[in-house]
Chain A
Amino acid sequence: AQSVAQPEDQVNVAEGNPLTVKCTYSVSGNPYLFWYVQYPNRGLQFLLKYITGDNLVKGSYGFEAEFNKSQTSFHLKKPSALVSDSALYFCAVRDKAGGFKTIFGAGTRLFVKA
């Protein structure tokens, strides 16, 4: 069965510093990986995805993520954090064996301090 793990409930970073939000996954086939962001009392917004090709994918708002097949990871990164990046971030995975259902991680809350 597919699963997604976000090992950190919360990540704290100072504005201007680089940030990393971790994600590991488990699927039986080739994974389709996604990152979404959620602001309070709102739906989720798509940030970026990995389907195939270059392991480093770039997305919205300066975020990027690196697909690492050997470590089954898809960590979200940004070179310089902004206070406005503070939100709840979800990693998600989908694969053919799972019927292409999207499974979400537990979420990581990011706090960026000014």
Chain B
Amino acid sequence: GIQVEQSPPDLILQEGANSTLRCNFSDSVNNLQWFHQNPWGQLINLFYIPSGTKQNGRLSATTVATERYSLLYISSSQTTDSGVYFCAVAGSARQLTFGSGTQLTVLP
């Protein structure tokens, strides 16, 4: 199956700083999603981005499918951005394979 690696595993920032999270995958994909898991455990869809670039407020994502990686950018981070960020991919099958996540802590 597809392997998914996320980096860094942990990230600590001061409020207002910018950050980049990376997701590498081992095979071609037709689905790539970024999720934020908040401190209450809820999984929130951030982006559906198997290729290209998308932006939503302070967050943006870019997937370079030919090079098998995706980046999630968080600008002007806020304490409410804290939590775990997951990348998940699917190839020809419909079920997602998740990475191990990046634990983000934003300090006030």
Q: Do A and B come from one complex?
A: no
